[in-house]
Amino acid sequence: MAVFSVRRMGLKRELPLELLYNVIDICAQNSSLNDLKALSLVSRSFNRQARKHIWGHIELPTKGAVRLDRDGRDFSFLVDALSTLPDISSHTKSLHLASHPPTVLYPFLRKLKFGRLQRISIHGYDPRVPFAPSPASLAKLARTNCDIRTLKLSNFRMNPIAFLDLVSQSKLHELRHCTLDVINTTFDDSWDDYLKHPSSEVLDDFIEQRTQTQNVARPSLTSLSLNRITNLPNAAFCSALFRHTHSLFNISSLQRLTLTISSYPPVPLRHFIEVIELCCLSVTSLTIHNWQDVIRSDSTLIATFVNAIDVTFNVYDGASLDIVKYSMELLLEHLAALKSLKRVKFAVESFKEVNFLSQQIADVLAILCREVPGIEEFEVSIRSSDAEYYKCEQRFVWDRERCAMVCMTH
């Protein structure tokens, strides 16, 4: 990327500062971090705006610190350097914490101060690991950033009550977007005891404590993504998360819902039935991953999303086209009940090349489009990733006039 002097171009006097800032903002969306660093050297005004993007998102611990620690070398100078930067507290809006290695993460969390975070992501947290940050310290980090609107927790291993308390103590009043991705909260790290622990009495005590807490947060989410929360089928645990009037989250006005099902470990669609019952009337955008693992009796739950406008179903298959065809047919049986439907996407990732869609599928699509005349777009994308056809991608769009699927890309 070429960098020109503002003075030599005469831009300093002829262009308003807002336009120059817009140029930097556009570059931040489409250019690399090195380009932004180069822009920051053009002038002081460029530097101020570029630094907002350079430090807008940071990941801790830094890769440099992890490398130094792996080599047995001191990395404290990196911690000290970051802790003295005013950009961290004033410009950082997004923070990702990787919990491993905890001995490297801890010094950063102890010294760095954040005050304007809007998005926080925590990966791989287990408080039982030596030197891992305490749940109280993570809750304090979230609590001191009152504008957090997006939260992602992934690969957690915690006692279920400790997990609920961590979220509760974070006081996420402004939270709107939440992702819970692989949250293992079972009593002994087993998938077999999620219905027994924690007991309803223990969860009732947790709710009672929340009712006595001042300034308790129960944010109204607009988007929610769930994948393998082990205790979710436990009715009392699910109630503490979503259903109770003093639960952690209010999903009664949820707009976008993403669910991931699985055959192993077993996470059938019915595991989310209480969540679906709470938000099915408000959801307008629905995404389900691993649709090939759904069973016929669970597939009827799709028909409850009567106000859905956009639906996306992903299929991951390494076997044959038969599974793809069956998954589509099973889905199309229930989509006709969604009278507000406008856009449907069926995405397939296969380890074998998929060259065609059967006429049977095309016939079902024709029936669907007649029964739901409001459908504006029906897309089927197929990505093959075997050795011979690596990343071969095909995209089919339904043509109403021809009543056929038209291949758009290869």
Give the β-pairing of 343-350 and 310-317: parallel
H or E element that contains 59 = strand 57-60
Is the pLDDT score of 10 beyond 80?
no
pLDDT over 60 at 9, yes or no: no
pLDDT of residue 176 exceeding 90: yes
| More confident of the two residues 91 and 95 | 95
- At residue 354 the predicted structure's pLDDT band, cuts being 50, 70 and 90, is low
**Which tokens go with 120?**
């926080």
pLDDT single digits (tens) 25-79: 787 777 677 777 777 777 777 777 888 888 889 999 999 999 999 999 999 999 9
Residues 281-337: tens digit of each pLDDT: 999 999 999 998 999 999 999 999 999 999 999 988 655 667 777 888 888 888 888
Letter string b/e over residues 131-147, b meaning 16 or more CB atoms within 10 A of that residue's CB: ebbebeebbbbbbebee
Burial (CB count <10 Å: 0-12, 13-18, 19+), residue 399: exposed
Mean pLDDT across 194-220: 86
- Cβ–Cβ < 8 Å for 287, 315: no
| 79, 111 Cβ separation under 8 angstroms | yes
CB 249 within 8 A of CB 241: yes
Burial class (CB in 10 A: 0-12, 13-18, 19+), 387: exposed
Please, which residues have CB within 8 angstroms of residue 190's CB and are 6 or more apart in sequence? none
Q: For 95-116, how does the pLDDT look when each residue is reduced to its tens digit (9 = 90+)?
A: 999 998 999 999 999 999 898 9
Spatial distance between the Cα atoms of 20 and 49, rounded to a whole number of angstroms: 9
More confident residue, 378 or 105: 105
